[in-house]
């Protein structure tokens, strides 16, 4: 039988963490772009993952906070609440595991090369009611980004490894490829393919397609949405909806 902890852990896998030309929310593939020095980003969001006949979980409410505290260096934290269900088990709602990370860009983009950064994270075991992994675990990715046609097209790719020694879980690899197209200052569309290995003993790996949009009423406020589904491995439907705000006002904005 599926345990409540296994059900809830699936929600943490979807918390990877957008103005035009950035990856990350609402996508699974991330980018190497840190928050500008002295600037802040906040997201209030919901994320969901439904596996028919097996498990369903919704992350809501959740808050993400990013701070550019040094040049090319960003502090990152996500604090989520999780609702998890499985056949034959009651709904469970409570605080999930807390995500803490640091993004460091060590190669700047040029005409002939992408920008490159690392984004190590710890998923700290803070969950209540068994709504987490049970032990702190880690993700160690590297991400690349290249822009084309004066920034109208952006490509992000990369991946890494997860380290998880909790009972019943296992380490795995993951990676993604994301293409985004800016249709002007108010709208960016994107599509990605994202794959990850088996996250638990006896499980199989999963590969997703995902499409999303960033609707930008202003340079400080965005509405983010994505929908996707697995096309290999375990069956999952996934989604993201979030509100994004950055402050102070980005340099050069009207």
The partner residues of 121 in beta bridges, in order of sequence, read: 101, 139
**Angle ∠(33,35,41) on CA atoms, nearest 5:** 125
Q: What is the pLDDT of residues 116-129, one digit of tens each?
A: 999 999 999 999 88
Two tokens, residue 133: 């992994």
At 86, the pLDDT band (50, 70, 90 cuts) reads: confident
**231 burial level (CB within 10 Å; 0-12, 13-18, 19+):** exposed
**Given this model, what pLDDT does residue 88 score?**
78
pLDDT of 165 > 80? The answer is yes
**Alpha helices, H only, the chain:** 4-13
Q: What is the pLDDT of residues 209-238, one digit of tens each?
A: 999 999 999 999 999 999 999 999 989 999
- Sequential DSSP letters for 135-191: S-EEEEEEEEEEEETTTTEEEEEEEEEEE--STTB--EEEEEEEEEEE-STTEEEEE
Domains, in order of start, for the chain: 4-247 (2.40.160.40)
Please give the Cα distance from 108 to 103 (Å, whole number): 14
Please give the Cα distance from 78 to 66 (Å, whole number): 9
**Given this model, what pLDDT does residue 130 score?**
84
Comparing 250 with 22, which gets the higher pLDDT?
250
CB-side exposure of 154: number of CA atoms within 13 Å? Answer: 26
* Nearest Cα to Cα of residue 12 among 131, 130, 169: 131
| CB atoms inside a 10 Å sphere around CB 143 | 27
Contact, 82 vs 8, CB < 8 A? yes
Comparing 100 with 91, which gets the higher pLDDT?
100
The partner residues of 172 in beta bridges, in order of sequence, read: 162
Two tokens, residue 219: 């340079």
Helix (H, G, I), strand (E, B) or coil at 111: coil
CB-side exposure of 203: number of CA atoms within 13 Å? Answer: 22
Helix (H, G, I), strand (E, B) or coil at 243: strand
The chain-wide mean pLDDT, for the chain, equals 90
Please give the Cα distance from 41 to 217 (Å, whole number): 16
**Given this model, what pLDDT does residue 71 score?**
98
* Nearest Cα to Cα of residue 194 among 141, 153, 149: 141
The partner residues of 245 in beta bridges, in order of sequence, read: 42, 221
pLDDT of 152 > 70? The answer is yes
């Amino acid at each position: 039988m599926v345990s409540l902890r296994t059900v809830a852990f699936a929600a943490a896998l979807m918390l990877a963490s957008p103005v035009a030309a950035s990856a990350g929310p609402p996508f699974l593939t991330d980018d190497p772009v840190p928050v500008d020095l002295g600037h802040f980003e906040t997201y209030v969001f919901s994320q969901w993952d439904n596996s028919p006949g097996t498990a369903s979980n919704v992350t809501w409410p959740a808050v993400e906070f990013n701070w550019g505290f040094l040049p090319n260096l960003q502090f990152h934290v996500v604090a989520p609440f999780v609702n998890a269900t499985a056949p034959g088990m009651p709904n469970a709602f409570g605080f999930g595991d807390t995500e803490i990370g640091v993004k460091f860009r060590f190669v700047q983009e040029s005409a002939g090369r992408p920008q490159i950064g690392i984004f190590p994270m710890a998923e700290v075991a803070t969950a209540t009611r068994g709504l987490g992994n049970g032990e702190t675990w880690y993700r160690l990715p590297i991400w690349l980004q290249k822009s084309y046609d004066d920034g109208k097209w952006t490509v992000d790719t990369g991946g890494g490894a997860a380290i998880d020694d909790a009972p019943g879980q296992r380490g795995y690899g993951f990676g993604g490829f994301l293409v985004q197209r800016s249709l002007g200052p108010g709208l960016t569309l994107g599509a990605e393919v994202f794959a990850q290995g088996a996250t638990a003993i006896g499980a199989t790996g999963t590969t997703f397609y995902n499409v999303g949009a960033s609707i930008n009423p202003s340079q400080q406020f965005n509405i983010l949405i994505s929908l996707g589904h697995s096309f290999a491995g375990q069956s999952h439907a996934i989604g993201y909806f979030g509100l994004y705000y950055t402050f102070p006002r980005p340099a050069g904005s009207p």
